[in-house]
Amino acid sequence: MIKNLRLWGFSATLIALTAGLGLWFILNSLYPNVFTIILLFVFIFIACASVAVPISIFLNQRFAKENWHVIDSYRLIRHGAESGLLGTILVYIELRQTLDWSITAVLIGVFVLMETFFLTGMSHRES
């Protein structure tokens, strides 16, 4: 399973670099219209999600149970999707010029509680 996790981390890093290049191209070369803004949000989601996967692999290898990838096989996908969604929501709120530290803290708290709910459900299933 370790080779599989290394493959996940390597491919997530390649996807993050590709999404970063896409973001760079959008920000430096395209004029802002509806299609460009939608494309920006898509690339932000992909970049945030793919950056979160290697970080999640490292933290889960360090702090989770030894067989975490067997018990919860969707954990990496879920962490990536949650991080991508959080990043996209924060960028959208900033685009509307209403982002504040309190809004950021509340949104991060909601996502942490949501992940805690998922992890608590997984610990009840294994026992």
CA dist., res. 42 & res. 19, Å (int): 9
CB 35 within 8 A of CB 58: no
DSSP string computed for 64-95: S-TTHHHH-TTHHHHHHHHHHHHHHHHHHHHH
Altogether, the residues listed in the chain come to a count of: 127
For residue 19, pLDDT over 70 is answered with yes
CB 84 within 8 A of CB 33: no
Q: What is the pTM of this model?
A: 0.87
Span 13-41, average pLDDT: 94
- Which residue type sits at 111? F
CB 57 within 8 A of CB 9: yes
CA dist., res. 104 & res. 87, Å (int): 10
What is the sign, positive or negative, of the torsion defined by CA atoms of 92, 93, 99, 104? negative
More confident residue, 67 or 55: 55
pLDDT score recorded for residue 10: 92
Candidates 70, 19, 21; CA nearest to 48 is 19
pLDDT band at 100 (very low <50, low <70, confident <90, very high): very high
CA dist., res. 20 & res. 57, Å (int): 20
